[in-house]
Amino acid sequence: MFGQNNIWEDPNINQINRLPAKATFYSYENVNLAKANRREDSKYFKSLNGDWKFNWVATPNEAFNTFQNTDFDVSKWATIDVPSNWEMRGFGKAIYTNTTNPFFNNAPFINHNDNPVGHYVKSFNIDETWQNRDVILHFGGVSSAFYVWVNGAFVGYSEDTRLPSEFDITKHLKKGANKIAVKVYRWCDGSYLEDQDTWRMSGIEREVYLQAVPKVRLSDFTVRTDFDENYQDALLQIRPKFTVNIEDKFIEKVGHFSNTPLQTVVDNWTLTTQLIDAEGNKVTPEKTQPLKTFLGEKYPARDNVYFGIIETVVKNPKPWSADAPYLYTLLLTVKDNNGKAIEYTSTKVGFREVEIDDKGRFLVNGNPVKLIGVNRHDHSMINGKTVTKADMEKDVQLIKKFNFNAVRTSHYPNNPYFYELCDKYGLYVMDEANIESHALGGKLSNNASWANAFLERGIRMVERDKNHPSIVIWSLGNESGTGPNHAAMASWIKDLDPTRYVHYEGAQGDPTDPRYKSSFWPSHVGNPTDPKWVDMLSRMYPQPNELESLINNTSFDKRPVLMCEYAHAMGNSLGNYKTYWNVVHKYDRAMGGFIWDFIDQGILQTAENGKDFFAYGGDFGDVPNDGSFCLNGIVAADRTPKPEIYEAKKVNQPVVISEVNALKGEFEILNRHHASSLTKYNLVWELLENGKSIQSGKLETLNTKPYQKESFKVNFKKVSAKVGSHYAINIKGLLKENTLWERAGYVVFQEQFALNLSSKETIASMQSKEKLAVSETAKTISVRNELVELIVDKTTGYISSYNSKGIKLIETPLKLNFWRAQTENEAAYRRSMKKTNELDWKTAANQFKVQKIKVDASNTSQISITVKGEILNPKTAVTLNYIILGNGYVKVAQAISIDKNVPDVPKIGMQFDIANQYKTVEYFGKGPQANYQDRNSGAFLGLYKGDAFTMSYGYVVPEEYGNHMDTRWFSLLNSSSQGVLVKGENPINFSVSPYSTKNIDAATHTHQLEDRTVLTVNVDLIQQGVGGDNTWSFKAEPHQEFKIKGGNYNYAFYLVPVTDSLNKIAPETIKF
């Protein structure tokens, strides 16, 4: 079953003939093209993306051995687009697994009976202008190992799915048509290092192109910037490498070179460098140095060579930061001994310096910075692991729009274009090596035969990405244990690039080892074992109190504390996000964190019933799989923002406004930007009465500096408060000008403050002149007149019918409800904590036993019906009171006493169905996105309107959704503006869904949700938080302050028929 001689099963052989890794840059024929740096404009660039001929087989034994030959006929093969994953084009199965390898563990060997192979063939022609140049073939990323041939000749072999592989194919080319053939293996020894929590897909998944480069060329260069101690002037340092490939002799110029005769060939050749600002102005004069300066460099017997082989002091450069991502262009020109330019190229340069000070603060250009980040996987709902430039740019725009400033490339290097976007838009990047051996733990890091693989993956990442100012941290990978191979990686990277910091969460102590147990928390969070070769204490999924404990435990370590993963956003989640950031902002050492994660990894599919849905693990018959665990994003798989991201936006906002005296219009503003003042914002305000704007204005521009506070005043006119009305003031910060990521007028930050204005009047208890008749049967109590008909079922104690002027206002009884469709977090903690008794609440309302019913008809214009009863399991006493007015208004009151020994309650409320013609929803409550006890900072009290079918985000795995807290009233109307209004005696929670709770609970995918003719309406006193510190243990549970315990609960709401116009009803005055 397992072979011994295949190089794709040998961890010591990771490449054959692959060129050394280098920074990303391109060769141009003139300086203007180099300045613009659009590679497609270069005549020396040729994309090989597009249609390729393709053949797929299930095992290596079935693979073709001669398909690379020029006479092999592939005309009958399928056609596949490159780049792509072949599973997304109908070949083989996509597999989603978190930590389990999708093949039998026997490193480095692979099961030969389960290792599909893809054969790719493409023809191309070479432009005549490419003569006398070397041609480099570039693969951006191939999963997982591949051989390549050109015109039947073997070119090379490479592993590492997420980094480029380049080969010099010059000697294999011919005039006219050329044939490239690629054989790709789904699994190889390197797959043991690619056990990441993502879809396992195969093929040529990143771009393929050719470059024609000069025989004498700039093969690589490193750029560093170093500010002086005042962060005013900066030293620009450049270290170039050259390749001389003359007379069929290929030498990369690194190290000793003084004795080679080839030095005389380029004796008078030069390299010219010049820095240009973003406006096109020359910042430095041209600096020209002979190539022999570089080619003749000798490495000393002690110490190392000085880095800055080319140096220039730049006076007062504009610094680069995520706040203000200013980029310069560095031009590099190679000229021959006649002074003729042979090659032009360029790169963007950002003047940026990162440090960690003695307080444990993370600094950028001397300013303390919190990393407000997301973990981001490459994902397309259509293309799998192949993402387009548009996908990447959309991601960066969303990350910026929602007030994040950092991204972790979990868990592998990204396409170079992504880093260009981060440089351009302004995001701090943790660049992570393509190493995760989760299934084997640290076994491979402690095996010397894997050392080369570890080192190559780390070093090649740094060599490629070293010139991007956005990258501030190198990460050695993810969840791979720790050992000498990681230590070697860290040592290499620190010496190779001393300007950035090294991260690796897996370097900490083993949480299962009793020697390392924290005295504070039975978890890995406080283990004092992080080696010195990591520059920060990185932890996954601490709870806020654990995070604070680690930060305060300075006895063994004072390095910064970072949450490389936290706030597991699976399903309806991201409770407690604000709590985390209260801790982070409290402590200098708290470096920030990266939410897990940015995007749901759902795959768009169409069900047999014609409905589209997002597939997840197991939906393709993939075994093993981890189900829906790939759905953790704060944006959906189609990049639609989910409710969670609005909470993040509010908590993340870079400007905080606090109340000094809201009634007097006095406020204070704090600028948390680290590199920009507040002059880029327009500050506006509005005064709301019951959610409607009654005053508004614009404030003077504030020039508040970073980390500074400033007082300001809102001059609103005196308000004569109306009885029962609610008043609030909203203050917003809007972009003054268009940015790359959003247009002018976009709200970056906002706050809302309630104004304690009260009327001298009080709300009078509502009276009705219309008389009501009461009739009883053995089963029902009926209350009716010409305006209203209401029936109470004596068996259930519930209102079973409610009509007004012939309009049927409820389709099902108004019944007690203690259950919400189970969230992913609830399923997780109930399973892990064995809290399955909470499921008893699912059927509690159906077990309500009526003990006594009393009708009070002493006032014929106001009938009272009181129902007393109990629920035996979980033990609960209930009193329901219905007061019906002659005008059709109904008051529903609950008094509930829940035994203190019963399981925690998901929610307390009532539920009914209404015909779906009443789909127009208007409400005065928190919105517009869904909100819960532990996730409502980003929702603001206001007047909102929507459609019941589209107003709420429904999750890929159906679960509780769409709740709105602090609701004063809501209405459900049809196209004729008729329907019902529900008003809370005190603020309530509500939601409306086209689907039943039972259907939502049972469904595993959205296409299983059944269309109905009714809507389900929830009117709740309270529901528990959504939790989500993680989604697999007790930490998934809402924090105790957001749970519902046994005790006494009372609430009431009013049902109001709307038969004419909602505008004629003043909800705030309803009381009886």
pLDDT at 368: 98
Measured CA distances, 793 to 771, 782, 843, 865, 901 (Å): 22, 9, 19, 11, 31
Average pLDDT over residues 250-276: 67
Give me the percent of the chain exceeding a pLDDT of 70.
96
The CATH architecture of the domain made up of 370-649 is: Alpha-Beta Barrel (3.20)
The residues, any chain, with a CB within 8 Å of residue 65's CB and separated by 6 or more, are none
* Tens-place pLDDT, residues 597-627: 999 999 999 999 999 999 999 999 999 999 9
Q: Please report the pLDDT score of residue 511 as a whole number.
A: 55
275 confidence band (pLDDT: 50, 70, 90): very high
Give the global pTM.
0.95
Residue 258's pLDDT band, with cuts at 50, 70 and 90, is very low
Higher pLDDT, 370 or 296: 370
The pLDDT assigned to 264 comes to: 64
Of 360 and 767, more confident: 360
Q: What is the per-residue pLDDT across 751-782, written as a single tens digit (0 to 9) for each?
A: 999 999 988 888 888 889 999 999 999 999 99
For the chain, give the mean pLDDT.
95
> pLDDT tens for residues 21-57?
999 999 999 999 999 999 999 999 999 999 999 999 9
Residues 213-224: what's their mean pLDDT?
97
pLDDT tens digits along 871-891: 999 999 999 999 999 999 999
Q: Whose structure tokens read 């960066």?
A: 396
Q: Can you tell me whether residue 491 is helix, strand or coil?
A: helix
Q: For 176-201, what is the mean pLDDT?
A: 98
- pLDDT tier at 515, thresholds 50, 70, 90: low
Q: Does domain 653-755 have CATH number 3.40.50.920?
A: no
User: Are the CB atoms for 223 and 349 separated by under 8 Å?
Assistant: yes
pLDDT confidence of residue 1060: 78
Integer Rg of the chain from CA: 33
Domain boundaries defined on the chain: 7-213, 216-352, 370-649, 653-755, 773-1069
pLDDT (average), residues 691-700: 97
C-alpha pair distances (Å), 427 with each of 348, 537, 960: 15, 22, 34
Domain 773-1069 has CATH 1.10.8.10: no
CB 225 within 8 A of CB 232: no
Structure token pair of residue 550: 């680690």
Q: What is the pLDDT of residue 365?
A: 98
Per residue in 91-103, pLDDT (tens digit) is: 999 999 999 999 9
Give pLDDT, residue 513.
59
From 565, 789, 826, 838, the catalytic residue = 565
The pLDDT confidence band at residue 267, using thresholds 50, 70 and 90, is: confident
Contact in structure between 333 and 289 (CB atoms under 8 Å): no
- Residues comprising the chain, all counted: 1072
| Over residues 110-132, mean pLDDT | 96
Q: Is the backbone of residue 399 left (phi > 0), alpha (psi -120 to 50) or beta?
A: alpha
**pLDDT tens, residue by residue, 702-720:** 999 999 999 999 999 999 9
The residue ranking higher by pLDDT, 761 or 220, is 220
Closest CA to 932 of 981, 985, 991: 991
Could you give the C-alpha distances from 856 to 773, 802, 864, 879, in angstroms and in order? 12, 19, 5, 15
Per-residue pLDDT reduced to its tens digit, 394-409: 999 999 999 999 999 9
Given this model, what pLDDT does residue 374 score?
Answer: 99
Q: What span, in angstroms and rounded, lies between the C-alpha atoms of 330 and 274?
A: 6
Contact by Cβ (8 Å): 238, 309: yes
pLDDT, residue 246, reads: 78
Q: Give the CA count within 13 Å in the CB-facing half-sphere of 48.
A: 26
For residue 1, is pLDDT > 50? no
Q: State how far the Cα of 284 lies from the Cα of 238, in Å rounded to an integer.
A: 14
What pairing do the DSSP bridges indicate for beta strands 95-97 and 537-540?
Answer: unpaired
- CB-CB neighbours of 603 under 10 Å: 25
- Spatial distance between the Cα atoms of 30 and 918, rounded to a whole number of angstroms: 66
pLDDT band at 522 (very low <50, low <70, confident <90, very high): very low
In percent, the amount of the chain with pLDDT more than 90 equals: 91
Contact 197, 477 (CB under 8 A): no
| pLDDT at residue 256 greater than cutoff 50 | no
pLDDT at residue 679 greater than cutoff 80? yes
**Averaged over 202-211, what is the pLDDT?**
99
Which residue, chain included where needed, has tokens 């000798």? 298
In this prediction, residue 245 carries a pLDDT of: 87
Burial level of 5, CB count in 10 A (0-12/13-18/19+)?
A: exposed
Q: Render pLDDT for 682-692 as a digit per residue (tens, 0 to 9).
A: 999 999 999 99
Residues 1000-1028, mean pLDDT to the nearest whole number: 98
**DSSP letter for each residue of 521-581:** -SSGGG-----TTSSSEEEES--HHHHHHHHH--SS--S-EEEEEES---SS--TTHHHHH
Read off the pLDDT of each residue in 265-287 and give the average, rounded to a whole number.
94
The domains spanning 370-649 and 653-755 adopt the same CATH topology: no
**145 has a pLDDT exceeding 70:** yes
1013/917 Cα distance (integer angstroms): 8
Query: Among 420, 432, 479, 689, which one carries the catalytic annotation?
Result: 479
3-state secondary structure of 874: coil
Say whether pLDDT at 936 is over 90: yes
pLDDT for 764: 82
* Mean pLDDT along residues 193-222: 98
160-174, 298-312, 625-639, 809-823: the lowest-pLDDT one? 298-312
Classify strands 890-898 and 907-915 as parallel, antiparallel or unpaired. Answer: unpaired
Q: In the structure, what pLDDT confidence band is assigned to residue 4 with cuts at 50, 70 and 90?
A: low
Phi, psi at 125, each rounded to 5° = -115, 150
- Output phi, psi for 789, to 5 deg: -140, 125
SS3 content of the chain, % helix, strand, coil (to 5): 20, 35, 45
pLDDT at 525: 52
Left (φ > 0), alpha (ψ -120 to 50) or beta: where does 648 sit?
alpha
| One-character DSSP codes across 680-693 | GEEEEEEEEETTEE
Look at the block and give the residue holding tokens 């009171």: 881
What is the rounded CA–CA span in Å between residue 552 and residue 546? 10
Is there a catalytic annotation at residue 479?
yes
The DSSP bridge pattern shows strands 134-139 and 145-150 to be unpaired
Query: Worst-scoring range by mean pLDDT, 274-278, 631-635, 843-847?
Result: 843-847
Other CB atoms within a 10 A radius of the CB of residue 757 amount to 17
C-alpha span between 783 and 806 (Å, rounded): 14
The pLDDT assigned to 2 comes to 42
pLDDT digits (tens, 9 = 90+) for 444-467: 999 999 999 999 999 999 999 999
| DSSP letter string, 957-974 | S--S---EEEEEEEEEE-
pLDDT per position as a tens digit, 463-501: 999 999 999 999 999 999 999 999 999 999 999 999 999
**Whole-number Å distance between alpha carbons of 925 and 940:** 8
**How, if at all, do strands 50-57 and 78-82 pair?**
antiparallel
Average pLDDT (970-983) is: 97
Measuring CA to CA, which residue among 496, 461, 498 is closest to residue 476?
A: 461
Residue 247 has a CB neighbour count (10 Å cut-off) of 9
* Multiple choice CATH, 7-213, 3.40.50.300, 3.10.180.10, 3.30.230.10, 2.60.120.260: 2.60.120.260
DSSP assignment of 331-361 equals EEEEE-TTS-EEEEEEEEE-B--EEE-TT--
- Residue 259: the pLDDT is 45
Closest listed residue to residue 1048, CA positions, set 851, 876, 815: 876
Return the structure tokens found at 71: 């006479």
Q: How many CB atoms lie within 10 A of CB 255?
A: 9
Q: How far apart are alpha carbons 171 and 404 in whole angstroms?
A: 48
Question: Is the CB of residue 931 less than 8 Å from the CB of residue 963?
Answer: yes
Please list, in sequence order, all residues whose beta carbon lies within 8 angstroms of the beta carbon of residue 925, skipping any fewer than 6 positions away. 941, 942, 944, 964, 965, 966, 967, 968, 969, 970, 987, 990
Q: At 790, which helix (H) or strand (E)?
A: strand 788-793
pLDDT exceeds cutoff 90 at 124: yes
Distance between CA atoms of residues 138 and 166, nearest Å: 5
The correct answer on CATH 2.60.40.10 for the domain covering 216-352 is yes
Token reading at 711: 């007082």
- pLDDT greater than 70 at residue 912: yes
Cβ atoms of 334 and 218 within 8 Å: the answer is: yes
Nearest to 203 by CA among 363, 359, 327, 85: 85
> Catalytic site residue 546?
no
> What is the pLDDT at residue 555?
76
Dist. CA 258–CA 267, nearest whole Å: 11
